[in-house]
Amino acid sequence: MSQDSPDRTAADRTAAERTAADRTSLVTGASRGIGAGIARHLLDRGVRVAGAYRSGRDGVEKLATAHRDRVLPVHLDLGDPDSAVDAVEQVRATWGRLDSLVLNAAVWDGGRLTRMDPDAWWAVVETNLRGTAAVVRAAVPLLQEGNDASIVLVGSVVGHVGFPGDTAYASTKAALVGFARSLAKELAATGVRVNVLAPGFVDTDMTAAVPEGSRATIAEATLLGRFGTVDEIARAAVFLSEDATFCTGTVLAADGGWSL
């Protein structure tokens, strides 16, 4: 199909109309790192953002100060399903709609399976999976009231290829793929898309603690020879949320080729 064909022109016009639309997104873990980057890029696109935080309200407040009337700080604790309901209700009460949900928040605790405390291991699984399901369950009815809604689950390449000391966290990220693909089939008839973004190793305040020797080993194993940046992952998340209108049940790896 040529670039100037009628069908392509219509598709481009639809995309432009969507960009200019009055869209609203709920982003979890928006107080720092990748979540904050996703929130900023959505705001740059004209999307209003409900920035969900567990303890870092100050980070979301900074976004709210920079983008008046377009950022709503909301408390959301993955360990408390009721807080997910409260967060979605705040979005409904403030803006009356929800067009996209970006589930970036997760907890991490690591250690070899035989050395890690079983309760700590199960706490990661319980928080990440139960918390994800609770937020989605709360948000779906409001997402279904609109048009062209989307859900993006931020997973990890460790859920596909594994990593020593990460059995708990990797299990939850692997589970997101099956969850997303099943949910995509459940929600397709209502027009809600569901996709997974699987980042590799990214420069954030969390990975800053990785020892230099380990960082060098990881970078060497990555085809592009480096860690990713928050902006690179945020752009990929916004693509799935706002632009990938014919994608559902998709897993997009943004890992610099580390998983190959």
Q: Which active-site residues does the annotation give?
A: 169
DSSP string, 48-75: EEEEEESS-HHHHHHHHHHSTTTEEEEE
CB 245, CB 193: distance < 8 Å: yes
CB 72, CB 49: distance < 8 Å: yes
| Beta pairing, strands 48-53 & 193-199 | unpaired
Report in angstroms the alpha-carbon separations of 147 from 33, 225, 254. 29, 40, 27
